[in-house]
Structure formats: C-alpha cells, structure tokens
C-alpha cells in the first residue's frame, strides 16, 4: 500500500462562470468539488492506476466530513486525524469562455501540539503497512504565520530565510577549486540564522516523517515547496520532483539552462537524495538516478488545465517505483500522467486509459 500524506487538505471547489468581473454580481453556471490538497491529488492517480492507496489527512469540521465524502466518491480510503479547526476550501473561479482562472486560497489553521503529536503517532503506526510514502504539498500554517510575523515561504512573497542569490557557479562549485563544493551545500542551509529559530516547531514535520520512514527502510517521495521542502531535503527523501521555481527557491539560485538544472540535480544527490525528477511543465522533465541521466519530452498536448500535472506525475512515479518498473519506464509513466492531466480540467483525475493513451507520445532519452 502507498501512503499519501496530506497535512493541509482542502475542498477543491471550482465555480464555473461565463465572465467574472470584480465588484459585479456574477451568475454561477455550475459548481464542482473534489478532494484537494496535493497528497489527495496524488492518491487519485495512484488509485486510477490500480494500486492500493491510503490517504492520510488532517481534517476538521463539516469541511473535513466533505473531504472524507469526496475521497469516498473516488474510492480512496481515508485515515484521518480530526483536528478542532475546520478544513479549508480552495476556490477557483473558472471563466468558461476564456479559461481564465482566479484562485482563492485559504491558508488553513495551525495544529495544536496535541494534534501534531497525534499526526506523528498515527503516521508511525501506519508505516507498518506501507510500502512507499508520498509527502505532498503545504503544511498547516503556524500561529506565527497566521499572526503575520513570519512566513514559511509556502505562499507569501517573503522567504523565511533571507537567502541572497549567490552565483550559480559558486553554489555548484562549477568554476571554483575542489573542496569548496561542500561549503556551497552548507550555504543552502544557513541553520544558524536567528530567524530560523522563530517558533515554527512544525516546519520540519516532513523531515521528521522522512526520518521515521527511513528507520523502517521505507522509501519516501517528497513534493513540496518553501521551507517544509527545504527542511525535508535535509532528511534525504528517496525521490523529489521539484519544478524549476521550487528548485530555485530551495537552492537559492537562478536557473538559466539545462546545465544549471543538471548542476542542481548533482547538489540534490550530494544531499543523499537518490532519485531527482526535475519537472519542466510542457517541456517534460529531466531526471537523474543511479548515475544515469535522462531527458523526457512529450509531444504537443491540447492543454486544458496543467494545474495538478506535477501531482499526477508523482502519483504515476510512485506506482512505477512500487511495482519495480525500470527507471526509464517510471519516467515514461510519470510524464504521460502529467501530460494526461494537462489535457483535462479536474486536477489529477486522469484515468488509467487517459495515461495509457499518452504513453506513445513520450520520448525518454539517456543524456
């Protein structure tokens, strides 16, 4: 069984309108709800590919019940930690004529320390039945973030660490003498910066979860962003799937070309991460594993909504890995799932058939 972890799930609600004008009365054509939060998106694709999955979520209130019901409609079993605060709703207003989207993202509520402890205890218990863990998406905001005193970098503009963008050459040790590369890696994690100590005790929850899984020799896929992703990297998950922005944020650098991306992937490996899949939106992906590197491309897809393509890709990669497919086939499946997702509206709702149809469009070359 693959365990997906969604610490900050949501009701993913789409409101369909012909035209949205700020400050005007808008007639709603239709409403659709699915179980959201990136881990739940991943769970849907794993389920659609016919693999056993369990969605582990922190949910609360009436909204939490709705998330449970929506997962049930997708035949995805839920293991919940019930929190006292209600789950959030992420609302997308979709203008059907132009395909323009306006998204309202509720941040969610902080976990109390007893809820946090229950999350860790339940997760630890679930590991005994788990073959692979997928940690996806944001974590609930801390009290300090709600109060506006700090940011985890999950959604706001401010970075939790004031990372200056040092040159890529310095960071990769590309043009600097031997021995400096290690220092470059340390620069990525300036743990002793005073702002790092400000009351975000839960920001390293992913790192803790990776550590617990590793102790049981269970592989972990981490797909997140901002500070929880950076903290999670330190615990060396088995596989990561950042997009370009996430890599730039996590490593504090600016990506100019493919060589930079391969350099970033070397850095990730140096941190102990075995599999790196660097997604590139419609450009496909680059990947690196066991000393091999691949470029994966996909021919033109009629794009409807690429949101959730990364989640679809992670779900398919998880299934490929759990089924011990060859690396090249995992990558083909992952890119096909991402492309299949981009060709439809609902996030990560592509069926096995949709993904299968995309497979011949995907080219995987070793580079």
Ligand X SMILES: Nc1ncnc2c1ncn2[C@@H]1O[C@H](COP(=O)(O)OP(=O)(O)OP(=O)(O)O)[C@@H](O)[C@H]1O
| Contact positions vs Mg ion (CB under 5 A) | 310
CB of 195 to ligand X, least distance (A): 27
Give the Cα separation of 285 and 272 in Å (integer): 21
Q: Which does 339 bind (CB under 5 to 8 A by kind): Mg ion, ligand X, none?
A: ligand X
Cβ-based nearer residue to Mg ion, 108 or 310: 310
Nearest distance, CB of residue 353 and ligand X, angstroms: 17
> Which is nearest to 12 in space by CA: 36, 30, 31, 32?
36
Residue 221 or 298 having the CB closest to ligand X: 298
Residue of minimal Cβ distance to Mg ion: 310
In the bound state with ligand X, the residue whose beta carbon lies nearer, of 156 and 281, is 281
Q: Are 210 and 235 in contact (CB under 8 A)?
A: yes
With CB under 5 to 8 Å by kind, the binding choice for 39 among Mg ion, ligand X, none is none
* Closer residue to ligand X, CB minimum distance, 81 or 285: 285
Question: Which of Mg ion, ligand X, none is residue 9 near (CB under 5 to 8 Å by kind)?
Answer: none
Query: What is the enclosing helix (H) or strand (E) of 219?
Result: strand 219-223
Residue 284's binding partner among ligand X, Mg ion, none (Cβ under 5 to 8 angstroms by kind) is: ligand X
Q: Could you tell me the smallest distance in angstroms from the CB atom of residue 177 to Mg ion? A: 36
User: What crossing angle do the helices spanning 309-322 and 38-48 adopt, rounded to 10°?
Assistant: 50
C-beta of 80 vs 287, nearer to Mg ion: 287
Question: Least separation, in Å, of the C-beta of 283 and ligand X?
Answer: 7
Question: Could you give the CA distance from residue 222 to residue 233 in angstroms, rounded to a whole number?
Answer: 8
Q: Do residues 363 and 297 touch, judged by C-beta distance below 8 A?
A: yes
Our CA dihedral for 41, 44, 49, 55, rounded to 10 degrees, sits at 100
Give the CA dihedral 233, 238, 241, 246, nearest 10 degrees. 0
Query: In the complex, which residues of this chain contact ligand X (CB under 6 A)?
Result: 243, 279-282, 284-285, 298, 301, 303, 306-311, 313, 335, 338-339, 342
Give strand pairing partners of 55: 4, 78
How many C-beta atoms lie closer than 10 Å to residue 14's C-beta?
20
Q: How far is the CB of 193 from ligand X (least distance, A)?
A: 27
Closest contact distance (angstroms) between CB of 284 and ligand X is 5
Task: Pick between residue 129 and residue 299 the one whose CB is nearest to ligand X.
Answer: 299
């Amino acid at each position: 069984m693959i365990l997906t972890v969604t610490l900050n799930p949501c009701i993913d609600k789409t409101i369909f309108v012909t035209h949205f004008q700020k400050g005007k009365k808008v007639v709603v054509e239709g409403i659709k709800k699915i179980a959201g939060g990136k881990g739940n998106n991943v769970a849907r694709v794993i389920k659609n590919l016919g693999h056993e999955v369990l969605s582990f979520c922190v949910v609360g209130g009436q909204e939490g019940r709705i998330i449970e019901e929506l997962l049930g409609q997708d035949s995805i079993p839920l293991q919940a930690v019930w929190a006292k605060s209600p789950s959030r709703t992420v609302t997308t207003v979709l203008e059907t004529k132009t395909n323009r989207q306006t998204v309202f993202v509720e941040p969610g509520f902080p976990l109390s320390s007893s809820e946090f402890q229950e999350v860790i205890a339940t997760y630890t218990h679930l590991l005994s039945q788990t073959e692979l863990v997928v940690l996806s998406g944001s974590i609930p905001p801390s009290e300090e973030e709600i109060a506006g005193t700090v940011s985890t970098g999950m959604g706001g503009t401010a970075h939790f660490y004031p990372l200056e963008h040092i040159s890529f050459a310095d960071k990769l040790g590309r043009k600097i003498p031997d021995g400096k590369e290690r220092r470059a890696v340390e620069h990525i994690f300036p743990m002793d910066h005073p702002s790092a100590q400000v009351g975000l005790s839960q920001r390293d929850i992913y790192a803790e979860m990776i550590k617990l899984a590793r102790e049981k020799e269970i592989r972990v896929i981490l797909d997140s962003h901002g500070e929880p992703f950076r903290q999670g990297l330190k615990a060396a998950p088995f596989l990561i799937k950042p997009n370009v922005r996430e890599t730039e944020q996590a490593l504090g650098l600016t990506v100019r070309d493919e060589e930079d991306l391969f350099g970033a992937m070397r850095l990730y490996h140096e941190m102990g991460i075995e599999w790196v899949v660097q997604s590139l939106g419609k450009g496909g992906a680059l990947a690196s594993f066991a000393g091999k590197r691949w470029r994966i491309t996909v021919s033109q897809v009629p794009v409807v909504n690429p949101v959730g393509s990364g989640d679809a890709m992670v779900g398919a990669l998880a299934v490929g890995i759990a089924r011990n497919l060859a690396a090249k086939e995992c990558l083909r499946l992952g890119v096909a799932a991402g492309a299949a997702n981009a060709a439809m509206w609902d996030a990560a709702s592509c069926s096995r058939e949709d993904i299968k149809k995309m497979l011949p469009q995907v080219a995987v070359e070793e580079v």
